[in-house]
Amino acid sequence: MPRFAFKIEYHGAPFAGWQRQSGQPSVQGAIEAALSKLEPGPHTIAAAGRTDAGVHATAQVAHADLAKSWDPFRLSEALNWHLKPDPVAIVACAPVPDDFHARFSAQERRYLFRLIQRRAPVTHERGLVWQVLHPLDAEAMRAGAAHLVGHHDFTTFRSTMCQSASPVKTLDEIRIEEVILPHGREFRFHLRARSFLHNQVRSIVGTLERVGAGAWAPADVKAALEARDRAACGPVCPPQGLYLCGVGYPDDPFGA
């Protein structure tokens, strides 16, 4: 059976998350339903990461085994037709070897979290960013973030419902970009690691926001990490600012 990889973009607001769930809309369910319109029978697709309800993606990767050797362009066009009107798009499609696995072959995942600081309500970006009203200190947040880069036990920064076998992960990068807007500022948190724990990114960003607001000192982030206690974490920020924006493989299946 030919195996295909898909690069997928979606707006997470209408969905209960990536993973198929009984009685609730999911991104996985929408794509599998579209596949069933092209080839009869149930389909199961595997993704690089299971994003939560309300979380977006600009470059999620998934794979599926199909009965027919489709032309990749025609396959993506047909899927996009059947995905209407859901806010999901197949932006790239490619045949891959049988041993390619969207999740287990991945060597890194990249997330972006968008936070806008301004007094007036956001309009065009509503549902796509987390808005805070108070000023934030980017340098203080960068100092706090520096304590989290590297190989650590991230028990403090993972959900109590996390199913990972170990809380120990290597966080390769946290980069905080500050963009001056006409009426406020946008802070873009770029995080990169081989894999992440459940709610790890939102827990980290929520904690760093407290540092930026002056409620925490940068050194408090180190103390929270070393506590290895979920109760030591700062507030978990809302999902709408989070994007899965890249997945790295030994060989890029899309040739980019």
Q: How far is residue 36's CA from residue 4's CA, in Å, rounded to a whole number?
A: 15
**Do the Cβ atoms of 224 and 95 come closer than 8 Å?**
no
- SS3 for 59? strand
Q: How far is residue 80's CA from residue 54's CA, in Å, rounded to a whole number?
A: 21
CB atoms within 10 A of CB 80: 15
One-letter amino acid at 120 equals A
Residues forming beta bridges with residue 113, ordered by sequence position: 189, 242
Q: How far is residue 3's CA from residue 16's CA, in Å, rounded to a whole number?
A: 27
Tokens coding 142:
């960068």
- Whether 52 is catalytic is yes
* Active-site choice (52, 86, 153, 251): 52
Q: How far is residue 58's CA from residue 111's CA, in Å, rounded to a whole number?
A: 10
Residues marked active site are found at 52
